[in-house]
């Protein structure tokens, strides 16, 4: 099944999309990657969804990527003795490690790591930023604060500490258990929440050991300070705009989004734009015009993928949300100005043999009006570097490694094809490329295709061959 677009769609599965028919309809509507959000649901729930995804994959014959999204640390206030309390602007409010239920003047905050990092003048955000407290004095087990922006505070609401590097691992014991379970299942990508520093990515990589791609979710301002290092250590990156928007002023999120996309594009790492993209479609069958423009902006920026969260996981119109996102991406990519913007925002290739081949691949395809680019790859490197060049022609990525084929479903412009074995020689490569380009619906007999591969065949990371053929 050929997609008529380059950008990819990630759809989150949940209560509204847990049966075989719905998952298949989401795939048919345009979903390329399915996200399993481990902040919700049991291992049994996620295994059932995973098994259904693989059943759909077998029936459709196209590799589908599965993304395990780890919950990460959840910092929350404790319980209140008499239910929700109202904090008035200017009032004093104490947070401490005492587990006694809270009241209108204090609340338990069972996170010593927060107190260890706090200083007078720091702000604390409660309930997704709805309430703001400013620290007046603090110690190892308490913080005396002033209410800057008050409101109603319920127990177990989240706490954010903007612009503070917290001495805490991005991986909780729950995350480690979820990770082990997901890797045993065979997920293709693992999304790491609460990334603050490059070391967080290294910690996850030491546990994954190459069994899945690592996608770093950038949702903390501290991560932006080490952006390029985090991108370099990651296999892909997500712009988690919802959490970024809690910890920094809303007007700063759009330029940060563009900065993250640029950094990933320069490095040739897939980048996902996520959160609240078609939020109104949780309860409505059509998006707002602003939401449509938001999705299109990510396309114009050259993002690899855009993501649906509650829209497909718990909303009333999961299939419609995927179909609308598909239509928006196709409409944006059909705009000649989009092509101009994407090309203008590209980066020079690196001085390597692989990049030289892939840059020539893109230029040859443009000059000759190629119907398709065909890449032979084992690790995915050739296809990802070809994708970095953002060619106009679709990239038919051919690999004998099913895990690689699935993982590449996230990459811009890549149509992944799994084959039973490597090609053995150049004539066999050309014959296979032409046959696959025709069979997958990308080229008609006689049309030009441009092929990239590595010799010796079957050896990862050896992109060194460019060949032009006619399908």
**Catalytic residue flag (residue 275):** yes
156 shares its domain with 181: no
Please state which of the ranges 30-34, 239-243, 402-406 shows the lowest mean pLDDT. 239-243
**Catalytic residue flag (residue 385):** no
pLDDT score for 457: 82
Question: Is 78 inside any structural domain?
Answer: no
- What is the 3-class SS of the chain, one letter each residue? CCCCCCCEEEEEECHHHCCHHHHHHHHHHCCCEEEEECCCCCHHHHHHHHHHHHHHHHHHCCCCEEEEECCCCCCECCCECCCCEEECCCCEEEEECCCCCECCCEEECCCHHHHHHCCCCCEEEECCCCEEEEEEEEECCEEEEEEEECEEECCCCEEECCCCCCCCCCCCHHHHHHHHHHHHHCCCEEEECCCCCHHHHHHHHHHHCCCCEEEEEECCHHHHHCHHHHHHHCCEEEEEHHHHHHHCCHHHHHHHHHHHHHHHHHHCCCEEEECCCCHHHHCCCCCCHHHHHHHHHHHHHCCCEEEECHHHHCCCCHHHHHHHHHHHHHHHHHCHHHHHHHHHCCCCCCCCHHHHHHHHHHHHHHHHCCCEEEEECCCCHHHHHHHHCCCCCCEEEEECCHHHHHHHHHCCCEEEEECCCCCCCHHHHHHHHHHHHHHCCCCCCCCEEEEEEECCCCCCCCEEEEEEEEC
Counted domains in the chain? 3
CATH number of the domain enclosing 122: 2.40.33.10
pLDDT score for 29: 98
284 shares its domain with 188: yes
Q: Which residue has the higher pLDDT, 296 or 164?
A: 296
Question: Is 235 inside any structural domain?
Answer: yes
Mean pLDDT value across residues 324-331: 98
Catalytic residue among 35, 265, 385, 390: 35
174 shares its domain with 311: yes
Question: Is 347 inside any structural domain?
Answer: no
Mean pLDDT value across residues 212-222: 95
**Catalytic residue flag (residue 241):** no
453 shares its domain with 327: no
Does the structure show a pLDDT above 80 at 460? no
Averaged pLDDT of the chain: 95
227 shares its domain with 145: no
Question: Is 348 inside any structural domain?
Answer: no
**Catalytic residue flag (residue 205):** no
Catalytic residue among 8, 217, 220, 406: 217
Please state which of the ranges 51-65, 286-300, 311-325, 451-465 shows the lowest mean pLDDT. 451-465
pLDDT score for 154: 95
Percent residues over pLDDT 90 in the chain? 91
pLDDT tier, 219 (very low <50, low <70, confident <90, very high otherwise): very high
45 shares its domain with 178: yes
Helix axes 43-60 and 173-185, enclosed angle (nearest 10):
30
Catalytic residue among 3, 76, 94, 205: 76
360 shares its domain with 465: yes
Which of 160, 184, 205 terminates a domain? The answer is: 160
Does the structure show a pLDDT above 80 at 45? yes
Question: Is 61 inside any structural domain?
Answer: yes
254 shares its domain with 369: no
CATH number of the domain enclosing 50: 3.20.20.60
179 shares its domain with 262: yes
pLDDT score for 353: 92
Question: Is 113 inside any structural domain?
Answer: yes
Question: Is 448 inside any structural domain?
Answer: yes
Mean pLDDT value across residues 447-468: 88
Query: CB within 8 A of 264, min separation 6: which ones?
Result: 231, 236, 237, 270, 271, 304
286 shares its domain with 380: no
pLDDT score for 1: 73
Which of 126, 160, 194 terminates a domain? The answer is: 160
Catalytic residue among 12, 145, 275, 463: 275
364 shares its domain with 436: yes
Question: Is 213 inside any structural domain?
Answer: yes
- In angstroms, the Cα distances linking 189 to 90, 183, 350 are 46, 9, 26
| Enclosing domain of residue 93 | 85-160
151 shares its domain with 180: no
């Amino acid at each position: 099944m050929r997609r008529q677009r380059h950008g990819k769609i990630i759809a989150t599965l949940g209560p509204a999309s847990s049966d075989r028919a719905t998952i298949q309809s989401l795939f048919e509507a345009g979903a390329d990657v399915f996200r399993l959000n481990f902040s919700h649901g049991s291992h049994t729930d996620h295994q059932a969804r995973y098994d259904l995804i693989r059943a759909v994959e077998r029936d459709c014959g196209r590799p589908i990527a599965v993304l395990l999204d780890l919950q990460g640390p959840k910092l929350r206030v404790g319980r209140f003795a008499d239910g929700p309390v109202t904090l008035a602007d200017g009032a004093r409010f104490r947070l401490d490690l005492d587990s006694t239920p809270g009241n209108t003047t204090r609340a338990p905050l069972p996170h010593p790591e927060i107190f260890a990092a706090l200083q007078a003048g720091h702000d604390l955000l409660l309930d997704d930023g709805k309430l703001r407290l400013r620290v007046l004095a603090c110690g190892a087990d308490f913080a005396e604060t002033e209410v800057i922006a008050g409101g109603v505070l319920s127990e177990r609401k989240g706490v954010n500490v903007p612009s503070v590097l917290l001495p805490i691992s991005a991986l909780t014991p729950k995350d480690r258990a979820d990770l082990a379970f997901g890797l045993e299942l065979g997920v293709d990508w693992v999304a790491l929440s609460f990334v603050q520093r490059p070391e967080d990515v290294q910690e996850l990589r030491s546990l994954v050991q190459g069994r899945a791609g690592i996608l770093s979710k950038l949702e903390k301002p501290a991560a932006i300070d080490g952006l390029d290092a985090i991108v370099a250590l990651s296999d892909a990156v997500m712009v988690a705009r919802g959490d970024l928007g809690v910890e920094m002023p809303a007007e700063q999120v759009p330029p940060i989004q563009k900065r993250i996309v640029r950094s990933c594009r320069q490095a040739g790492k897939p980048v996902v734009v996520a959160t609240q993209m078609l939020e109104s479609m949780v309860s409505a069958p059509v998006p707002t015009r602003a939401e449509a423009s938001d999705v299109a902006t990510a396309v114009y920026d050259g993002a690899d993928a855009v993501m649906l969260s509650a829209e497909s996981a718990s909303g009333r119109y999961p299939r419609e949300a995927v179909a609308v996102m598909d239509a928006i991406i196709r409409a944006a990519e059909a705009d000649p100005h989009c092509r101009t913007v994407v090309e203008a925002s590209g980066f020079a290739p690196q001085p390597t043999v692989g990049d030289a081949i892939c840059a020539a691949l893109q230029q040859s395809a443009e000059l000759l009006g190629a119907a398709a680019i065909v890449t032979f790859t084992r690790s995915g490197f050739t296809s990802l570097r070809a994708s970095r060049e953002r060619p106009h022609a679709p990239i038919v990525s051919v690999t004998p490694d099913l895990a690689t084929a699935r993982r590449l479903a996230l990459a811009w412009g890549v149509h992944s094809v799994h084959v039973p074995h490597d090609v053995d020689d150049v004539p066999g490569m050309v014959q296979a490329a032409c046959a696959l380009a025709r069979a997958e619906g990308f080229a008609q007999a006689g049309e030009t295709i441009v092929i990239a591969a590595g010799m010796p065949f079957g050896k990862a990371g050896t992109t060194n061959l460019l060949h032009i053929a006619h399908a």
